A and B are shown apart, each in its own frame.
Chain A
Amino acid sequence: MSPYFFVMLVPLLPLVSFCILGLFGRKYIKTTSGTLGVISLFISALLSLYTAYRYFFIDGKVNGIYQHIIALKYTWLQFSPRVSIDMGILLDPISVMMIVIVSFISLMVHIFSLGYMKGEERFAIYYAFLSLFTFSMLGLVLSSNIFQIYIFWELVGISSFLLIGFYFENPSAVTASNKAFIVTRFADFGFLIGILILAFYSGTLDFGTLIERLTTAGSSQYIDIHSATFLGASMLTWGLGLVFIGGAGKSAMFPLHIWLPDAMEGPTPVSALIHAATMVVAGVFLVARLFPVFSIDLTVLQIVTWVGAFSALFAAVVACTQTDIKRVLAFSTMSQIGFMMFSLGVSKYGGESGLGYTGSMFHLFTHAFFKSLLFLGAGAVIHFAHTNDIRDLGGLRKLMPVTHLSFLIACLAIAGIPPFSGFFSKEDILMAAYHSDKIIYAIAVLTSALTAFYMFRLYYSVFWKRDIHLHDKNHEEGTLSMRLTLVILAVCTAFAGFVPVSSWITSDGAPLESHIDIVFSVFPVLMALTGIGLATYLYKTENRRPQIITSAFGSLYRAAYRKFYIDELYLFITRKIIFNGIGRPAAWFDKNIVDGFMNGLATTTAKISGLIKGLQSGKVQNYALYFFGGIIALAVLFIYVLNY
């Protein structure tokens, strides 16, 4: 038995708490359900931290390279002696890092929700769903094979559906949860086909074996998958491309990002969980998990790079125009995930050129802290002011000092200002982009300047801009649990950059020397400072400058405000083209041919029975007549025809 057997408890504890809360929470332990959820997550987080400590410092490394450790393996479905589906736990640097992030952020969200969701009618159910969500994501990152990851992938989808639609009395929440589910489900379809292609050609589902077989040049599987082509691309490209579609759907990459802003209909702590730890990073994680295979196919890497870079820029532009505090944050998530994606795309496997991979994972790590902090801060603001719209907010810095300070730290971190965490990870990404593709680098720098601009636009609009006078002076700044989580996360955000992630998490497992190039950092930081300065100029005090600028941009501003009409485009395609072109003919076929056949059968039967039902008259004498006639007929038959 592996010494890491206990890792099994990390995902299982939230599952247990989900079962208990889901079954009994509503009736029996309504008030203490939050505590139960927090305790199970707390133990889970402690175990993850211990795992990380043990893995990174004690026995994870063999000959200077971090090993892949199978902590648990159990054959679940045995199809044939060689093909089986296993359930297992795979520990490697990224999964160890992810369980720490997921359980820690989820713990923070659990604690924060104690205050935020207080008095909610379905409090226990909320905690049950949170636990389910955490369980799914922990299971996903620990999966040892591609089929297992797909199962947890769908579990993540369903639990996000449940949480986004938590306020199901609200029609827009229902629409949003449906949208999130359908869009990601659509992408998962690509993922499933990709899995089938990869598994078919490699003959295995297990990550380790699959990667080994597909990356060893000269192995029969390697030759097969490269020589088989479909529509001019090799099956490897197709398989990885389809897997990437699944990842892009979950990670809200353009053009599958449309569900993400609407997902803000859920409770704000849920948004924090979705954006920081559980859902949107799943796509990045998937690409990172299969990265050795991705890295041998340059076509797919190009797709990953450009989709990521475009999404980053696109989302940053849209975020500059949004007025809903949570939507700004949603688009900033999309933008940051875009950073992680293109960073993976520009990376290569192994050594110094694997910097992009490291940077991507590092950014995932730091992003989890500052994004959850931003969302929880936004949650505190909404809890306090009861509005999402930044045009109605302002001047909260004196009323909410803790939130204000932590929000500021998170904004500085996401803007990439040293020495906050975002700076270090973004630096790695920019460095990798610079060494790989100058255009991508330009997009990245522009995006990070825009990021700094819109984050500080948000910051000033919420906390400065004007002084508001509350009617109720005794209004508290959230509960103790809310402030406590903000403080913890602010500390993490400020110092997470000093965690030596680059010496732990690399594409090939060998530590990478981290080097901050001061000269290189100057330009991006200056760009970010320019963005901040511009935001200060425009939004620190209430003035007419923003209106002048928006009217100067005119149609571009309107397009960005409407998210570049992507939603409308989707509606056009689905309503006008798919519904009219496919839906209505199919409905016609169903109504007239399929239903018509069935109705025809029914009417024919009814007609025939109408014809013969006259025999059943109810007249006793008629019956007697039939009876007598029958007897005569039989008699004639037996005597004259059969001659008995």
Chain B
Amino acid sequence: MNEISITQILFVSTALFFIGMYGLFTRRNMITMLMAIEIILNSVNINFVAFNKYLYPGKLDGVFFTIFIITIAAAEAAMAIAIIINLYRSHHSIDVEDAEEMKY
């Protein structure tokens, strides 16, 4: 069985990162944007785990970091959804372009 090389893993994580980026920039629906952000975070998580495995096999620092990120991502999702719900209450829409006048 062939070993999966770090290049392949990094390729996957880079692809995920840019998919997330693309989603973040093109989608208008805030929920979808939130999902795109989650994808970006997960691409970073993959990087952490991969580097931990290949560069410092005896240590677990990278894995811990991943767990922290997942926790924070959960909290962040809760915050984001709370904001989106409030926005929906006042604007009756979760389209990000309808929230433009928030700049004033």
Contact = CB atoms under 8 A, between A and B. Distances in A.
Interface of A: 616-621, 624-625, 628
Given A617-B103, A624-B25, 12 more contacts: A618-B100, A618-B101, A618-B102, A618-B103, A619-B97, A619-B100, A620-B33, A620-B96, A620-B99, A621-B33, A625-B25, A628-B21
Contacts of B50: none
Contact of A617 (B21, B25, B100): B100
Interface of B is mostly: helix
A362 to B, nearest CB: 82
B46 interface: no
User: Would you list the 10 A-B pairs with minimal beta carbon distance, nearest first?
Assistant: A618-B103, A618-B100, A620-B96, A621-B25, A619-B100, A624-B24, A625-B25, A618-B102, A616-B103, A621-B96
Contacts of A621: 24-25, 33, 96
A616, A619, A621 pick with most chain B CB within 10 angstroms = A621
Contacts of B33: 620-621
Contacts of A628: 21
Contacts of B104: 618
A368 B55 CA distance: 112
Interface in B51-85: none
9 contacts: A618-B100, A618-B103, A619-B100, A620-B33, A621-B24, A621-B25, A621-B33, A625-B25, A628-B21
B25 to A, nearest CB: 5
Nearest to A624: B24
Contacts of B100: 617-619
Contacts, number: 23
A115 B97 CA distance: 81
Contacts of A617: 100, 103
B2 to A, nearest CB: 32
Interface residues of B, number: 12
A618 B102 CA distance: 7
A595 to B, nearest CB: 31
B101 to A, nearest CB: 7
Contacts of B24: 621, 624
Contacts of A619: 96-97, 100
A623 B24 CA distance: 11
A620 B21 CA distance: 13
Nearest to B37: A624
Contacts of A616: 103
Contacts of A624: 24-25
A620 B96 CA distance: 7
Nearest to A620: B96
Contacts of A618: 99-104
Nearest to A623: B103
A614 to B, nearest CB: 12
A617 B101 CA distance: 9
Contacts of A620: 33, 96, 99
B39 to A, nearest CB: 14
A163 to B, nearest CB: 57
A620 B100 CA distance: 8
A620 B32 CA distance: 14
A616 B104 CA distance: 10
Nearest to B97: A619
A533 to B, nearest CB: 91
B60 to A, nearest CB: 28
A20 to B, nearest CB: 57
A621 B21 CA distance: 10
Interface string B1-26: 00000000000000000000100110
A594 to B, nearest CB: 35
Contacts of B21: 628
B16 to A, nearest CB: 16
Nearest to B101: A618
A216 to B, nearest CB: 81
A242 to B, nearest CB: 63
Interface string B86-104: 0000000000110111111
A177 to B, nearest CB: 52
A626 to B, nearest CB: 11
B76 to A, nearest CB: 15
A473 to B, nearest CB: 80
A618 B98 CA distance: 10
A324 B101 CA distance: 73
A635 to B, nearest CB: 13
Nearest to B96: A620
A628 B100 CA distance: 20
Nearest to A625: B25
Nearest to A622: B25
Contacts of B97: 619
Nearest to B26: A621
A584 to B, nearest CB: 45
Contacts of B25: 621, 624-625
A271 B81 CA distance: 84
